[in-house]
Amino acid sequence: MRQDSALHDGTAGVSEGAPDGERPTVVAEDAARQSAVAEEQAFLDLATARRDRVADHLRTELSAVVLDPVEQARQRMLRQQYEELRRATDGLVFGRLDGRDGTVRHIGRIGLRDDDMDSEPLLLDWRAAAARPFYTATAVDPQGQARRRHIRTTGPTVVGVDDEPLDGALSAQLVGEGALLAALDERRTGRMSTAIATLQREQDDIIRAEATGPLIVQGGPGTGKTVVALHRVAYLLFAHRTMAEQAVLVLGPSPRFLRYIAQVLPALGETAVVSATCDTLLPGVRVGRDESRQLAEIKGRALWQTALESYVTSLLPRPRELKLRWEGEFYAIPAALVAQALASAVQGRPYHRARAVFAEHLHHLLADAVVEQRETLMAEMEEGFEDILARVDRDLTREQHVGRAPTGSDVDGLLSEEEVEDLRSRIAASASIARFVESWWPTFDAETLLGTLLTDHARLARFAPLLSPAEITAVAAEPTAWASSDIALLDALADLLGTDEAPQPQGEFVADRARRQRGWVYGHVVIDEAQELSEMQWQMVVRRCPSRSITAVGDIDQAEAAHRHRSWAEAVQAVFGDRWTAAELTICYRTPREVMALTEPVLKRAGSHNAPPRAVRSTGITPWELRATAAELAGTAAQAVHELQQRWRGGTVGVIAPAERVGVLLAVLSDVPVLTATQAKGLEWDATLLVDPQGIAAEPRGWNGLYVALTRCTQELGQVILTPAR
């Protein structure tokens, strides 16, 4: 552990019983602390005043009405800067680095310069490369730094400092240990807060890792997976400005989880972010029913991607001779030309895009046929065929009847380039030709098409031959409303069909445009609780980020979804193969040692070969148990929750129970969240009451669920054990 600094944010004072020889030391330490706090208060006041001046200047510029598109783009950039400044209130300044060369750099949520724009920054953005030693320097590797100072603030007031010497003293186990443990001991509010002041080295390494391909981060409970994921978004948007033009997608496991993290990225100044779950990722489509684990597992398999590709391919028309009517005459397009146009149109394009390209080819082929037949007729006429001449006369009469004035072609029978182009335009605009194309190559709706496939035994057997007859029967027997696993299938089918999307207004924030477009390509995707994704859901992710600039964080040992994979290699094999990078978070900051001591046997029962993460803090509170019969369970839980609320007043208490007991508990617990282990994933409370842990373990993948449930508290864990009726 690090040596205690003379400066900290405790309440140093003179004890009445302290020996006289110790009093001068205590007084000196207190005076030094007060001097340091005053020094940092002066700097915070300076930085706050500068932030306010810059914000006022931006607000004035934004008040002007501009019509020029270039100026509008500039105003969008200025508005983002203004919002970043406006949100930078709490924790504007949180750190300081004192270099061995005498330089002093303050670290904050945003970067600020003073009036001299050519000088060193007044306040260094935490994402800047120069700020990295604040998270990574140690006494063993000081990186040119003599001291690191953590500055604690409440609103506009500095309330404490915590100094770490980096001059060769005993290396700290944790970076900013005092500040970190103080933050972990704070009451939970039901909302995640930023952690930029207390990030640890292994977290910072992942946050700043290159975004060149899939990065899969394994981290057990309390290791800060979500903190890392969200701060990585903020870092990437800062370091790669072009990424903000495409937006970043953040995928979470549930709407409750997204509400929990909702304010973190805005607090870090980031707005080019779309948050969603896999169930809400497809615009205009919502889950309408629950489904069995068996069906969820079947429809999450990678085989559906190939099945749907084959299904859509089967909908393509087959080459044959086409006969089209144009202005009273029939024209034949030979099968060989149709096959050539069809092959040229498809070439890996989505179904509807290929259809549009083929229609363009067909318009040209028909125009060529009309021109060719006309020229042939005129050539035959010149040889004296009276019957042909009569037909040409009828053609001329009809063209004059529709209002076309005679041109040079009406005299010699040859169409000019302009007339041929006009002919093609009229063919392309023809409603009758459009009806013909629709009848031969129809358009399809993804929802209707998927419904047809999933309810048809014969089609399922043809296009998904890897399914057993029993599995086909189970799929075909499902209700018509969409379940969670159907969303990924719908997304795959919509992508294969390539349904056109209406253009979006350009004046909006990029996140608003991205949120409404299924085919939007994101600059980066961050996935939390990634172990829960099925193979088809992974395909959804890759479609939205073809560059595969993806960060996925999760704990394979907390997987509760219906899929079969039990390792990251199995989870991502279908979409990434072996082309992905692994990283690991090994330290548990949230869950106390007393609770983590309970998890190793649970992990073994879950079939894991991993060791639980190493807890670095202790609360001194031993997990406790109560026993109750089924009839007593609700009352016992209500009394236990009441006592926990009294002990953790100002904080939060959560209740986790088997799915079958949630309803009974909700009837007596209206002021605390009562969740299943799956619903509690990613959340945390000061105290957790775990009701009927044996019931959770008995659920599908229940030992994994119990591992989740045990590790949600930051301070205290209580359990209500079910006993037989007396």
Instruction: List pLDDT tens digits, range 279-304.
Output: 999 998 999 999 999 999 999 999 99
* pLDDT given for residue 14 in this prediction: 33
**Which of 560, 590, 591 minimizes the C-alpha distance to 677?**
560
**Residues ≥6 apart with Cβ < 8 Å to 98:** 104, 145, 146, 147, 148, 149
Average pLDDT (380-387) is: 59
Burial class (CB in 10 A: 0-12, 13-18, 19+), 26: middle
Confidence of residue 692 (pLDDT cuts 50, 70, 90): very high
pLDDT at 468 over 90: yes
pLDDT at 633 over 90: yes
| Mean pLDDT of the chain, nearest integer | 84
Of 292 and 142, which is predicted with more confidence?
A: 292
How many helices (H) and strands (E) in the chain?
Answer: 31, 20
Average pLDDT (128-142) is: 81
End-to-end CA distance of the chain: 51
Q: Do the beta carbons of residue 649 and residue 614 sit within 8 Å? A: no
The identity of residue 19, as a single letter, is P
* pLDDT given for residue 116 in this prediction: 67
Average pLDDT (444-469) is: 96
The identity of residue 356, as a single letter, is A
Average pLDDT (10-17) is: 35
pLDDT at 76 over 80: no
* pLDDT given for residue 175 in this prediction: 44
Chain-centre distance of CA 98, in angstroms? 37
Of 721 and 266, which is predicted with more confidence?
A: 721
pLDDT at 239 over 60: yes
Confidence of residue 183 (pLDDT cuts 50, 70, 90): low
DSSP string, 706-722: HHHHHT-EEEEEEEEEE
Q: Do the beta carbons of residue 204 and residue 35 sit within 8 Å? A: no
Confidence of residue 324 (pLDDT cuts 50, 70, 90): very high
Q: Is the Cα dihedral 351, 356, 362, 364 positive or negative?
A: negative
Q: Output the six-digit token pair for 353.
A: 């895009």
pLDDT at 361 over 50: yes
Confidence of residue 399 (pLDDT cuts 50, 70, 90): low
pLDDT at 19 over 80: no
pTM of the model: 0.73
Confidence of residue 271 (pLDDT cuts 50, 70, 90): low
Q: Output the six-digit token pair for 696.
A: 């959770």
Average pLDDT (378-404) is: 57
pLDDT at 390 over 70: no
**Residues ≥6 apart with Cβ < 8 Å to 441:** 316, 317, 355, 358, 359
Of 242 and 382, which is predicted with more confidence?
A: 242
Look at 113-117, 462-466, 653-657 and tell me which has the smallest mean pLDDT: 113-117
Confidence of residue 70 (pLDDT cuts 50, 70, 90): confident
pLDDT digits (tens, 9 = 90+) for 194-214: 455 567 788 888 988 988 899
* pLDDT given for residue 176 in this prediction: 46
| Side-by-side strand order, sheet with 273-276 | 273-276, 248-251, 524-528, 550-554, 215-219, 581-585
- b/e per residue 353-379 (b: at least 16 CB within 10 A): bbbbbbbebbbebbbbbbbeebeebbe
CA distance 302 to 492: 11
Q: Which percentage of the chain shows pLDDT scores above 90?
A: 51
- DSSP label of 270: -
Q: Output the six-digit token pair for 332.
A: 């034949």
* pLDDT given for residue 186 in this prediction: 52
Average pLDDT (66-92) is: 77
Confidence of residue 8 (pLDDT cuts 50, 70, 90): very low
Q: How far is CA 64 from CA 57, 71, 79, 114, in A?
A: 12, 10, 12, 25
* pLDDT given for residue 75 in this prediction: 78
CA distance 410 to 415: 8
* pLDDT given for residue 490 in this prediction: 97
pLDDT at 264 over 70: no
pLDDT at 685 over 90: yes
CA distance 384 to 387: 9
Secondary structure element (H or E) that encloses residue 325, with its range: strand 322-326
Range ranked top by mean pLDDT from 299-308, 598-607, 608-617: 299-308
The tally of CA atoms less than 13 A away on the side-chain side of residue 408 is 7
Q: In 511-576, where do the E strands start and end? A: 524-528, 550-554
**Which of 622, 674, 621, 686 minimizes the C-alpha distance to 650?**
686
CA distance 722 to 277: 34
Confidence of residue 11 (pLDDT cuts 50, 70, 90): very low
* pLDDT given for residue 269 in this prediction: 54
Helix/strand/coil (H, E, C) string of 601-637? HHHHHCCCCCCCCEECCCCCCCCEEEEECCCCHHHHH
pLDDT at 504 over 80: no
Confidence of residue 538 (pLDDT cuts 50, 70, 90): very high
Q: Output the six-digit token pair for 285.
A: 């489509």
Q: Do the beta carbons of residue 291 and residue 484 sit within 8 Å? A: yes
Q: Do the beta carbons of residue 712 and residue 654 sit within 8 Å? A: yes
pLDDT digits (tens, 9 = 90+) for 662-673: 999 999 998 999
The tally of CA atoms less than 13 A away on the side-chain side of residue 185 is 12
Average pLDDT (116-136) is: 82
pLDDT at 188 over 60: no
Confidence of residue 544 (pLDDT cuts 50, 70, 90): very high
Strand partners, 333: 322
Strand partners, 107: 95, 124
CA distance 41 to 47: 10
* pLDDT given for residue 174 in this prediction: 46
Domains annotated on the chain, with CATH: 20-185 (no CATH), 215-311+447-588 (3.40.50), 316-440 (no CATH), 593-722 (3.40.50.300)
pLDDT at 407 over 80: no
Average pLDDT (578-597) is: 92
Confidence of residue 383 (pLDDT cuts 50, 70, 90): low
Chain-centre distance of CA 34, in angstroms? 44
Confidence of residue 74 (pLDDT cuts 50, 70, 90): confident
**Which of 15, 103, 477, 512 minimizes the C-alpha distance to 292?**
477
Average pLDDT (480-504) is: 86
Of 325 and 184, which is predicted with more confidence?
A: 325
Coil/strand/helix, residue 107: strand
pLDDT at 139 over 80: no
Q: Output the six-digit token pair for 336.
A: 């060989």
* pLDDT given for residue 2 in this prediction: 33
* pLDDT given for residue 396 in this prediction: 56
Look at 163-172, 295-304, 329-338, 555-564 and tell me which has the smallest mean pLDDT: 163-172
Average pLDDT (118-131) is: 85
CA distance 455 to 652: 47
Confidence of residue 141 (pLDDT cuts 50, 70, 90): confident
pLDDT at 31 over 50: yes
106 phi and psi, to 5 degrees? -95, 140
Q: Do the beta carbons of residue 326 and residue 427 sit within 8 Å? A: yes
* pLDDT given for residue 10 in this prediction: 35
Confidence of residue 384 (pLDDT cuts 50, 70, 90): low
Helix/strand/coil (H, E, C) string of 629-672? CCCCHHHHHHHHHHHHHHHCCCCCEEEECCHHHHHHHHCCCCCC
CB atoms closer than 10 angstroms to residue 300: 23
